[in-house]
Amino acid sequence: MKVPLLDLKAQFAPIRGEVLAAIERVADSQLFILGTEVEALEREVAEMLGVAHAVGVSSGTDALLAALMALDVGPGDEVVTTTYSFFATAGSIVRLGARPVLVDIDPVTFNLDPEQTLAACTPRTKALLPVHLYGQAADLDPIVLGARDRGIAVVEDAAQAIGTRYKGREVGGIGTLGCFSFFPSKNLGAFGDGGLVTTNDAALAEKVRLLRGHGMKPKYYHHMVGGNFRLDALQAAVLRVKLPHLAAWTEARRANAARYRALFAELDPEGRVGLPHEVASGYHIYNQFVVRVPGRDRVREALAADGIGTEIYYPLPFHRQPCFASLGADPGAFPEAERAAAETLALPIYGELTAGEQRYVVERLVAHVV
Ligand SMILES: *Cc1c(COP(=O)(O)O)cnc(C)c1O
């Protein structure tokens, strides 16, 4: 049996006709950049997330960059964030000449520790940048309150978290700005790169819109130095076909997560494999189902030989990345992130997985753990 980490073909098959019709519609219009498709997507996503403004951009990375630019983050500023995330979280801060101040994760949720986040604030701190890792919300209440006390902003990295809820509220509209990604492996994936910035602040939304197109308004009059962070009409058209299916796809991922738990309870009664913790008051969308495995690297190789795809998110925390050596972090500074980087393994969790495939994954995994 072969079980890939992600099989996008299974999701595409039932919507193929609709997607091709949407692509044809854009082809016939010959209007490729922004325009009505992007505007419609922005309205539809904003409504789904219950947020006032959504601005389509070229990627999740550019969503982070535009959000931080809208807050005027630059040289001399600090942004507090987790050391354990996808590179873009810290990379976007550094690209603006600001300094990422890293904090460790909560070992239970893998999300940044709110106490350490607030303790890391200085008079130079311009924003806090929590990441909703794997599709589960970071503990936002203390972060948002702490930011409010200090008069600073919160940028939510919700790239892995479209539809995630925190205490009943959709993420992305809880902080000052939210950043989403439509990279194909995210729960709502485009046919290429895409992203979105959300906010309830009309002035910030307008600023992100300007920054998205070189700060230009009207044509060839530039108010600020932005970039080309525009979303393509083709991507928006494809995403609009997928959007109405997202809730059901997420439910299928959650059902698979529940089935993994039942299978591990049956096949690993001693609990040698550490299962992800689901915070009861939230809604986890399981962009990834990440377990802790003793002897992770050896087990991963054995699973690959069994035809089972897995991934390590992430093998090296930011403070250990060669390009961030200048931050001068002590290699042992963040023990929980180090431990997660050494132990974690993402298993296939996409909605179309079958019960038989999941049983095979758990049987093989448990067999390799000694
Ligand atoms: C995917 C991702 C990004 C970047 O999104 P792209 O669309 O790939 O640029 C940023 N942060 C996190 C946590 C991500 O998972």
pLDDT tens, residue by residue, 307-366? 999 999 999 999 999 999 988 888 789 999 999 999 999 999 999 999 999 999 999 999
Please check whether residues 196 and 62 belong to one and the same domain.
yes
pLDDT on residue 335: 97
Is the Cβ atom of 61 under 6 angstroms away from ligand 1?
Answer: yes
Report which ligand 1 atom has the smallest distance to the Cα of 131: 13
CATH number of residue 38's parent domain: 3.40.640.10
User: Which DSSP helix (H) or strand (E) runs through 15?
Assistant: none
Q: Are residues 239 and 250 in the same domain?
A: no
Calculate how far, in angstroms, residue 188's C-alpha sits from the geometric centre of ligand 1: 12
Say if residues 324 and 318 touch (Cβ distance below 8 Å): yes
The domain boundary residue, chosen from 243, 266, 296: 243
Same domain, 71 and 29: yes
Residues of the chain with pLDDT under 50: none
- Note whether 84 and 230 are same-domain residues: yes
In a domain, 136, yes or no: yes
Which atom of ligand 1 approaches the CA of 181 most closely? Answer: 7
Beta bridge partners of 110: none
**Do 235 and 300 share a structural domain?**
no
Q: Is residue 2 part of a domain?
A: no
Residue 45 lies in a domain: yes
Alpha carbon distance 357, 351 (integer Å): 12
The ligand 1 atom nearest the CA atom of 287:
15
Shared domain for 184 and 142, answered yes or no, is yes
Residue 140 pLDDT: 98
CB contact at 8 A, 210 and 217: yes
Q: Which domain holds residue 269?
A: 245-368
Q: Kindly report the CA angle at 332 between 329 and 336, in degrees rounded to 5?
A: 110
Shared domain for 20 and 162, answered yes or no, is: yes
Whether residues 359 and 272 fall in one domain: yes
Query: Within a 13 Å sphere around the CA of 282, how many CA atoms are in the beta-carbon half?
Result: 22
3-state secondary structure (DSSP) of residue 346 = strand
CA distance 247 to 205: 26
Q: Give residue 264's pLDDT.
A: 98
Identify the domain boundary among 243, 277, 312: 243
Same domain flag for 48 and 128: yes
Structural domain ending residue among the three candidates 214, 243, 272: 243
If one residue of 65, 83, 111, 160 were mutated to test the ligand 1 pocket, choosing by the most ligand atoms within 8 A of its CB, it would be: 160
pLDDT, tens digit (0-9, with 9 covering 90-100), for 173-201 = 999 999 999 999 999 999 999 999 999 99
Residue at 1 is within a domain = no
Atom of ligand 1 nearest to the CA of 62: 9
Q: What's the burial of 141, exposed, middle or buried (CB within 10 Å: 0-12/13-18/19+)? A: exposed
Alpha carbon distance 113, 280 (integer Å):
18
Query: What's the 169 CA to ligand 1 centre distance in angstroms?
Result: 22
The pTM assigned to this predicted structure is: 0.98
| Cα(137) to centroid(ligand 1), Å | 15
Q: Which of 57, 61, 235 to mutate to test the pocket of ligand 1 (most atoms within 8 A of CB)?
A: 61
Residue 3 lies in a domain: no
CATH number at residue 341: 3.90.1150.10
60 close to ligand 1 (CB < 6 Angstrom): yes
Domain shared by 324 and 310, yes or no: yes
Burial of 71 (C-beta count, 10 Å sphere; 0-12/13-18/19+): buried
What integer pLDDT is reported at residue 248 of this predicted model? 98
CB atoms within 10 A of CB 248: 9
Question: What distance in angstroms lies between residue 364's CA and the mean position of ligand 1's atoms?
Answer: 30
Our count of domains for the chain comes to 2
